[in-house]
Amino acid sequence: MSRRRFLGYVGGGAAAGIAGGYAVGRAVGSDGSGGGTGGAGGLPDSWPFHGTHQAGIVTPAQDRMHFAAFDLRTDSREELVGLLQEWSAAAAAMTQGQVVGEPVGAYDAPPDDTGEALGLPPSRLTITIGLGPSLFETADGVDRFGLADRRPAALEPLPHFPADNLDPARSDGDLCVQACADDPQVAVHAVRNLSRIAFGRAAVRWSQLGFGRTSSTSTSQATPRNLFGFKDGTANLKVEEEAAVAEHVWVGEGDDPAAGWMRGGSYLVARRISMHIETWDRTSLREQEALIGRDRVEGAPLSGGEEFTEPDFALAGRGGEPLIPVDSHVRLAHPSQNDGVRLLRRGYNFADGTTALGRLDAGLFFIAYVRDPRTGYVPMQTRLSRDDALMEYLQHTGSGLFAVPPGASEGGWVGEGLFADQSVRRGGSGLSQRRSEGSLGP
Ligand X SMILES: C=CC1=C(C)c2cc3[nH]c(cc4nc(cc5[nH]c(cc1n2)c(C)c5CCC(=O)O)C(CCC(=O)O)=C4C)c(C)c3C=C
Contacts to ligand X by CB under 6 A: 226, 228, 230-236, 271, 273, 275, 292, 294, 329-330, 333-335, 343, 363-364, 366, 380-381, 384, 394
Q: How many helices (H) and strands (E) does the chain have?
A: 12, 9
Q: How far is the CB of 434 from ligand X (least distance, A)?
A: 40
The alpha helices in 249-389, defined as continuous H runs, are 277-281, 285-292, 329-333, 373-376, 378-387
Distance of alpha carbon 122 from alpha carbon 182, whole angstroms: 9
Choice between 262 and 330, CB closer to ligand X: 330
Choice between 63 and 289, CB closer to ligand X: 289
Q: How far is the CB of 353 from ligand X (least distance, A)?
A: 18
Q: How far is the CB of 236 from ligand X (least distance, A)?
A: 6
Distance of alpha carbon 172 from alpha carbon 75, whole angstroms: 18
Choice between 213 and 334, CB closer to ligand X: 334
Choice between 61 and 343, CB closer to ligand X: 343
Q: How far is the CB of 217 from ligand X (least distance, A)?
A: 11
Q: How far is the CB of 396 from ligand X (least distance, A)?
A: 8
Choice between 123 and 208, CB closer to ligand X: 208
Q: How far is the CB of 110 from ligand X (least distance, A)?
A: 40
Q: How far is the CB of 328 from ligand X (least distance, A)?
A: 10
Nearest CA among 440, 436, 414 for reference residue 51: 414
Q: How many CB atoms lie within 10 A of CB 188?
A: 21
DSSP string, 157-203: PPPPPTT----GGGS--SEEEEEEESSHHHHHHHHHHHHHHHTTTEE
Choice between 87 and 365, CB closer to ligand X: 365
Q: Cα angle at 402 between 163 and 201, to 5 degrees?
A: 120
Choice between 62 and 85, CB closer to ligand X: 62
Beta strands 175-181 and 126-131, pairing class: antiparallel
Q: How far is the CB of 310 from ligand X (least distance, A)?
A: 9
Distance of alpha carbon 57 from alpha carbon 217, whole angstroms: 8
Bridge partners for 349 per DSSP: 211, 364
Q: How far is the CB of 79 from ligand X (least distance, A)?
A: 35
Choice between 339 and 437, CB closer to ligand X: 339
Choice between 2 and 395, CB closer to ligand X: 395
Q: How many CB atoms lie within 10 A of CB 211?
A: 17
How far are the Cα atoms of 7, 188, 292 from residue 96, in angstroms, in the given order? 16, 15, 39
Q: What is the C-alpha radius of gyration for the chain, rounded to an integer number of angstroms? A: 22
Question: Across 10-103, where does the E strand assignment appear?
Answer: 64-72
Do residues 130 and 268 make contact, with C-beta atoms less than 8 angstroms apart? yes
